[in-house]
Amino acid sequence: MNKITLPNTLTVSPAALGAMNFGTTTPRDAAFAILDAFLDAGGSFIDTSNNYAHWAGTGDESETTLGEWLAARRCRDRVILATKVGFDRHGEGAGLRAAQIEHWVNESLRKLRTDYIDLYYAHTDDYDTPLEETMAAFDRLVRAGKVRHLGGSNYDTWRFAEANATAAAQGGTPFTVMQQRFTYLHPRADLPPKSRFNEPTGRERLRYLADKNIPLVAYSCLAKGGYAADERLPADLIAGDRLAFLRSMAAEKGVSASALAVAWMTNLHRCAGFPRVIPLFASSRVEHFLDSLRGVDLTLTDEEMDALNRA
């Protein structure tokens, strides 16, 4: 698996492993097996949060499991580690006030058993805290060496831009990565996102990111398993001819539709008006995860990319 270097100088694998369910619905042993397989395949970019998956536990399990794996495998230098702050976890932690950011980064460092985080995201916007306070707090983490780079997740595009303008005005560190919901299938325009922050990525956001040379880390990129099984497909995505075309091309190429969706995303920056996209996904089973991961090594011609875009 070839690595890519992002504009912020981070060198990462072209796909990211999502650790959201590690330690909860994906038990420790299964999580270790998936992490080992990802590393063995040449993967390096691993994504977690300080609140995953609090609906199935306390919110500490994902980071704690990753910390145990990093210590057991002694592979911290081979991993680009991303975690987040800002969402609620059983009534604590919501918000991006300076004191919250400082508290939770120290908790994340402790659970992850590391002294630095490669990429630290604001997990969601906090309209009640001035951007000046939030961005100054993040910048102090970078200057202290606790964090190398910053990202913004679940931000409206204009708020992401304002956060970076605020950082620039303060002489601070900007967000250099965006994480947002994105997949091959188009969202239904007649249905609102399930939550204010869960806005799917549209063309305007993609053009903004392309113009600013900011990569998109795409969560929910495999449509919750919907490329493999219709019954898993979220109701707010349009299937129809586009899904049928994806599956048809995948069958011709001898890969799964999920692998082809991954390939489409990793090649999308070759098309005008699109940024670098890094698909973020996981599975509770190693074989399913590795099947989707095949997409990062799949070559697509310009004609195939154009056909997929037009479907």
pTM value?
A: 0.97
16: its two tokens: 């990211």
pLDDT at 72: 98
Task: Specify the residue for token string 């919901």.
Answer: 181
**Can you tell me the distance from the alpha carbon of 21 to that of 302, in angstroms, rounded to the nearest whole number?**
36
- Distance from C-alpha of 123 to C-alpha of 274, rounded to nearest angstrom: 23
Helix (H, G, I), strand (E, B) or coil at 2: coil
The pLDDT tens digits for 130-188 are 999 999 999 999 999 999 999 999 999 999 999 999 999 999 999 999 999 999 999 99
| Residue at token pair 């200057």 | 143
Chain-centre distance for alpha carbon 217: 4
Q: What is the pLDDT of residues 266-278, one digit of tens each?
A: 999 999 999 999 9
- How high is the pLDDT of residue 44? 98
Mean pLDDT of 22-43: 98
Query: Quick one: average pLDDT of 100-120?
Result: 98
Hey, what are 160's tokens? Answer: 């992401």
Contact 79, 46 (CB under 8 A): yes
Judge residue 303's burial from the number of C-beta atoms within 10 Å of its C-beta, 0-12 exposed, 13-18 middle, 19 or more buried.
exposed
Q: What is the pLDDT of residues 186-202, one digit of tens each?
A: 999 898 887 878 899 99
Q: What is the pLDDT of residue 14?
A: 98
Percentage, residues of the chain above pLDDT 90: 96
**Is residue 151 classed as helix, strand or coil in its secondary structure?**
strand
Please report where in the chains the tokens 């605020």 appear, as a residue: 166
DSSP string, 19-85: -TTBTTTB-HHHHHHHHHHHHHTT--EEE--TTTTGGGS-S-HHHHHHHHHHHHHT-GGG-EEEEEE
Pick the CATH number of 4-310 from 3.40.50.11890, 3.40.50.80, 3.20.20.100, 3.40.630.30: 3.20.20.100
**How do the domains of the chain map onto residue ranges?**
4-310
3-state helix, strand and coil shares in percent for the chain, rounded to the nearest 5: 45, 15, 40
- Please report the pLDDT score of residue 191 as a whole number: 87
Mean pLDDT value of segment 221-245: 96
What are the pLDDT digits (tens) for 59-78? 999 999 999 999 999 999 99
- pLDDT exceeds cutoff 90 at 16: yes
The per-residue pLDDT for 198 is 85
Active site residues: 52
pLDDT confidence of 4, banded at 50, 70, 90? very high
What pLDDT digit, counting tens, does each position of 237-256 carry? Answer: 999 999 999 999 999 999 99
Rounded Cα distance, 151 and 124, in Å: 10
The conformation of residue 174, written as its DSSP 8-state character, comes to: P
